[in-house]
Structure 1
Amino acid sequence: MATYNRSEYILESIQSIQAQTYQDWECLIIDDGGTDNTAEVLAPTLNEDPRFQYLFRTSKYQKGLPGSRNYGLDLAKGDYIIFFDDDDIAHPQNLELCVHELSTKDITFCRYIRVGFTGDFVYNYDYSKEYTSFYIDSSDINKILKNELQFNSCAVMWTKECYENHRYTEHLKYAEEWEVYARIITLVKRGISINKILYYGRKHNVSVTGDFGNRNLSSLASYTDAIELVIANLKNKKMLSAEIIRYFIQVSLQYKEYNLFERIINTLALPKLEELKWRIFYLHLPLRLYFYGIWKKVKK
């Protein structure tokens, strides 16, 4: 759990970890250099429960969520890795059900459902252990990148091996999870997705996601950087399809101020004729989208 000036919410978050039905865990709380009274709020719990460790990110790691999480990854001793945010609530069965899936099946990660809430959290859990599930592997990468199959923050438990050769890209301030997940999923064995709500994300504007929704410039720039890294990774692994190129070029229309289209073309390093094809596609794309919008309205 990375934290930064979240004393208002963090106690409720760690209490949801203490309430887990699976009790064999360690929780590394990495403070990113906050200036509020988080340490004071946490002190009673730290004194009573040795499973929690409260540490400050060292200068070896860049300031920010990715650097703090990388520090935690380098310290983690468990067989499985999960990231919780400092203002959210974990379902009591979160660890129990994920560990059960990972320990009884030949899989490398367990994805579950995350829902949002605002205001005070309502403690009314579904404790059923009956749920449907489906498998996920590298063939689903396009769906994941297009958010048709969402990999939400804090909604996946990974085997430690998934992060053996992977760390968060520390200069990214948004989409850092999306970028590292794309790298991991193209390399590891299949995982499972269970259709049960096991995590509750608090919605408010004072968050990274809120910054992106409010069009914070650093978050928007970070997203374009992440797209460039994802494309380079897929290209190196020979997993870059025309479908996903088309998708990201369409996305680049919204990020002209960041020169995203040219960065995509440069990263692709295509033969001249193929590059010309995509340039023509990009040139005509606004008109195509305009007529597509009209067609959708007529169809309704």
Structure 2
Amino acid sequence: MQKPLVSILMATYNRAHLIAETLRSVQAQSFINFECIIIDDGGADTTAAVIAPFLEDARFSFRKRPNNYGKGLPGCRNFGLDIAKGNFIIFFDDDDIVHPRNLEHCVNELQNCDYNFCRYKRDVFIGEFSYKFDLIESYEKFIISKKDILKVINNQLPFNSCAIMWSASCFEKNRFKEQLMYAEEWELYTRILSQGFSGVSIGKTLFYGRKHPQSNTGEFYNGNQMRFASKVEASTLIISNLNNRNLLSTAIQKYFIWEAVILKSKLIYEHLLGQSSVTLVQKAKAIILYTLSPLIKIYLRRKKNH
């Protein structure tokens, strides 16, 4: 049987000082039938020179993002999706480290069972990376389906962008929203799950994310307004999609009411109330919760302190 091809899509922007270490971890994969498409988002550093030695390996290619794709991570990834040839798709960032058996474990799960994606654990590190990988063969696993969508939305079941291998079929009709500069994977992966795609989650750490303030997440928590506005828009897109699919449960509504409170975004609150599947009783409860949220926050803070 011919081995499946995995397409690794890696957007990059001014990461000449970090990307080589990431690419070495890709090159060290035990599963060797992959293509790694590196997509430059218009950087101005020496990334091209740093990448050049890796291009001697025919599995690696370096492409510039065409102007008909939006600048940013979503545009780069959409371009990658449009040219990828693999049976399976995985997104890696340009500053992280990949477990040497990442592709092998995921392909084994997807090839032998009727799953659309394979999720795994992701860890983080700061500074120098310690190359002491867990090479134990066994791990626990469980199924993820549409019924778990609230857990994905509220991050009880994190769907980190670099911690999932997807069947290419998941992207036949799905792309990232290029206007989103933060939470774009949250919106897309929730959308894919809402369409009935199911997968397996394996209890093994196969990816290591480098933590630094220049990341999109770091900028969001440091108050970057562009990232903040993107999170708000992503929230409204998720609400609309779930409404259209009759998946906007009371529990999900409650989550987004609190999201509106935390983000101080009346737009999310008003958008939720405007959905056709929200009943009059649910609207009344949402209004009460949103109105009383300042008092509830004071009560919860006092309760925590005691």
Q: TM-score, normalised by structure 1?
A: 0.95
Tell whether the 8 Å contact from 2:97 to 2:209 is kept in structure 1 after alignment: yes
Tell whether the 8 Å contact from 1:221 to 1:258 is kept in structure 2 after alignment: no
Residue of structure 2 equivalent to 1:255: 263
Among candidates 161, 169, 190, match of residue 161 of structure 1: 169
The amino acid of 1:15's aligned partner reads: R
How far does residue 126 in structure 1 lie from its aligned partner after superposition? 1.3
Tell whether the 8 Å contact from 1:89 to 1:200 is kept in structure 2 after alignment: yes
The amino acid of 1:168's aligned partner reads: F
Unaligned stretches of 5+ in structure 2?
A: 1-9
Percent identical = 48
CA-to-aligned-CA distance 1:260-288 (integer Å, 9 cap, x gap): 32233234574666534422221112212
CA-to-aligned-CA distance 1:139-174 (integer Å, 9 cap, x gap): 000011011111112000000001111000000000
Mapped partners of 1:14, 1:25: distance in 2: 13
Residue of structure 2 equivalent to 1:125: 133
Residue of structure 2 equivalent to 1:229: 237
Tell whether the 8 Å contact from 2:120 to 2:164 is kept in structure 1 after alignment: yes
Residue of structure 2 equivalent to 1:23: 32
1:39 and 2:36 are equivalent in the alignment: no
The amino acid of 1:95's aligned partner reads: L
Bigger drift between 97-106 and 207-216 goes to: 207-216
Residue of structure 2 equivalent to 1:88: 96
Mapped partners of 1:269, 1:129: distance in 2: 46
The amino acid of 2:182's aligned partner reads: Y
The amino acid of 2:125's aligned partner reads: F
Residue aligned with 2:34, SS: coil
Change (3 A) 1:28 1:56: same
Residue aligned with 1:2, SS: strand
CA-to-aligned-CA distance 1:188-245 (integer Å, 9 cap, x gap): 3321000101000001111111111212111111000000000000000000101111
Residue of structure 2 equivalent to 1:142: 150
Among candidates 46, 57, 60, match of residue 65 of structure 2: 57
1:152 and 2:178 are equivalent in the alignment: no
Tell whether the 8 Å contact from 1:4 to 1:32 is kept in structure 2 after alignment: yes
The amino acid of 1:158's aligned partner reads: W
1:73 and 2:77 are equivalent in the alignment: no
Mapped partners of 1:108, 1:273: distance in 2: 37
1:203 and 2:211 are equivalent in the alignment: yes
Bigger drift between 193-202 and 266-275 goes to: 266-275
Mapped partners of 2:285, 2:167: distance in 1: 42
Tell whether the 8 Å contact from 1:231 to 1:268 is kept in structure 2 after alignment: no
Residue aligned with 2:202, SS: strand
Mapped partners of 2:303, 2:97: distance in 1: 43
Mapped partners of 1:41, 1:192: distance in 2: 36
Residue aligned with 2:85, SS: coil
Mapped partners of 1:136, 1:259: distance in 2: 31
Mapped partners of 2:113, 2:203: distance in 1: 17
